[in-house]
Structure formats: structure tokens, C-alpha cells
């Protein structure tokens, strides 16, 4: 009986800890999947009209509220809203912080929420990889970008950014492979090719 009682107490402790961890990134009662057409049709226009204007997208100013608050509102309703999530990334990088001013959560939480809503949204993993890349966390960037590529091998942006990150890590052959895939898919920017050429690792 004592053994069973201990197991029960332990289970309650673990459940409590798990709940506390999820609470750090808020609840999901208002959250909708950005890739779900029904969700977009019903709510997206209203959210974007008031909380994701062109000024907010370009990080110029919020619409009545603080910039971080407007971005947070959009991401609370659509955690995997690609442009809003990327705007929050740019805001965090610009401000040099993991929790931008007036943002409800840290960037880790925003990515957790986006992946909780739709774990198969490859663009979320891509944006997370770009964030790690810009913060100089190249190994983390490789992990996120590799997952994005596993979900969608036809995204040239993912191939390109993974190639950039692999180049920074000195993995030139792998970077070359990603570069060739990116360009075969029509990626327009020549930066990665030029980096490989300058380092003597480009092959036609």
C-alpha cells in the first residue's frame, strides 16, 4: 500500500510539473491553425485587419497598441501565422532579446505554441531555424532546418538556409548539396554559391 501511495504522489507531482511547464507558454483557447482553411476564413481577416497591418509587419509601429502587443495578439490567435512569426523573429533580433518589448512570451514559447498547433508545418521549423541562425546558434539551426526539410523537401528557402548554416560549420560538401538543391528549385539569391566559390568548394 505504501508503494502504491508513493506512486500516486509521484504521479501527481509529475502532472503538476507538466502543467506548470505548459502554463509558461499560455493556454490555447484562442489558438487556431493558420493552415486550416476554415480557421482562416472565419477569423484571419479580422485579426490581420486590426493587428497585422503593413506597419506592424514592417516593424514600424503598432496600430494603437505597442508593436509587440499587436504581434502577440496575432500569434495568440494564429500561433503558426508565418509572416507574424517571422516579424516577431525580426523584432527579437533587432531588439537583441529573447522576449521582445510587450511580447506575451519568449521566442522559445512562440515556437512551442506554433508547433503545438501544427507540428507538420514545415515553415514554422524553417523560421525557427532562421532565428537560431541569426542568433549564431548554428547547431540548433541545423536541427530545425533539417526537420523543416524532412517535412517538405521542395522548399528552396529551407535548402538555402540549411546550406548557409552548414557552410558556417565548415560542412562544405553538405552545404554544396543544399545549394544545388536550392538553385535547382529556383532560389534566386547567389550568396551561398558565391560563398562556396570563394572558399573553393563550388562544383558545376
Burial class (CB in 10 A: 0-12, 13-18, 19+), 181: buried
What sign does the dihedral 78-131-155-119 (CA atoms) show? negative
Q: Is the per-residue pLDDT at 19 higher than 70?
A: no
- Is the domain of 88 the same as that of 146? no
Does residue 108 share a domain with residue 132?
A: no
Let me know if residue 124 belongs to a domain: yes
131, 92 Cβ separation under 8 angstroms: yes
18-22, 164-168, 182-186, 187-191: lowest mean pLDDT where?
Answer: 18-22
Domain co-membership, 111 together with 186: no
Say yes or no: 66 and 45 in one domain.
yes
Q: Assign residue 154 the CATH number of its domain.
A: 1.25.40.10
**More reliable by pLDDT, 132 or 21:** 132
- If asked whether residues 91 and 40 sit together in one domain, one would say yes
Domain termination residue (choose one: 119, 142, 159): 119
How far, in Å, CA of 96 to CA of 87, rounded?
14
What gap in Å lies between CA 177 and CA 109, rounded to an integer?
Answer: 32
103: pLDDT strictly greater than 90: yes
Provide the domain count of the chain: 2
Average pLDDT of the chain, as a whole number: 89
- Other C-beta atoms closer than 10 Å to the C-beta of 74 total 24
Residue 16 lies in a domain: no
Q: Please indicate, yes or no, whether residues 143 and 133 belong to a single structural domain of this protein.
A: yes
CA distance 88 to 177: 30
Is residue 60 in some structural domain? yes
Structural domain that includes position 60: 28-119
What pLDDT shows up at residue 23? 66
pLDDT, tens digit, 9 for 90 and up, residues 127-149: 999 999 999 999 999 999 999 99
Q: How far apart are CA 168 and CA 129, in angstroms?
A: 14
Amino acid at each position: 500500500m505504501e508503494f502504491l501511495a508513493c506512486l500516486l504522489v509521484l504521479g501527481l507531482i509529475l502532472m503538476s510539473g507538466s502543467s506548470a511547464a505548459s502554463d509558461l507558454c499560455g493556454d490555447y483557447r484562442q489558438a487556431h491553425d493558420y493552415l486550416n482553411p476554415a480557421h482562416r476564413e472565419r477569423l484571419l481577416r479580422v485579426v490581420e485587419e486590426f493587428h497585422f497591418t503593413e506597419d506592424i509587419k514592417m516593424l514600424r509601429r503598432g496600430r494603437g497598441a505597442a508593436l509587440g502587443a499587436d504581434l502577440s495578439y496575432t500569434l495568440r490567435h494564429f500561433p503558426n501565422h508565418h509572416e507574424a512569426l517571422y516579424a516577431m523573429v525580426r523584432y527579437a533580433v533587432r531588439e537583441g532579446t529573447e522576449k521582445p518589448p510587450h511580447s506575451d512570451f519568449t521566442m522559445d514559447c512562440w515556437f512551442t505554441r506554433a508547433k503545438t498547433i501544427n507540428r507538420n508545418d514545415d515553415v514554422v521549423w524553417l523560421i525557427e531555424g532562421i532565428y537560431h541562425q541569426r542568433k549564431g546558434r548554428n547547431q540548433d539551426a541545423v536541427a530545425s532546418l533539417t526537420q523543416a526539410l524532412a517535412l517538405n523537401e521542395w522548399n528552396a528557402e529551407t535548402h538555402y538556409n540549411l546550406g548557409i548554416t552548414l557552410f558556417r560549420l565548415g560542412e562544405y560538401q553538405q552545404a554544396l548539396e543544399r545549394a544545388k538543391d536550392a538553385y535547382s528549385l529556383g532560389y534566386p539569391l547567389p550568396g551561398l554559391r558565391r560563398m562556396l566559390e570563394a572558399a573553393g568548394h563550388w562544383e558545376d
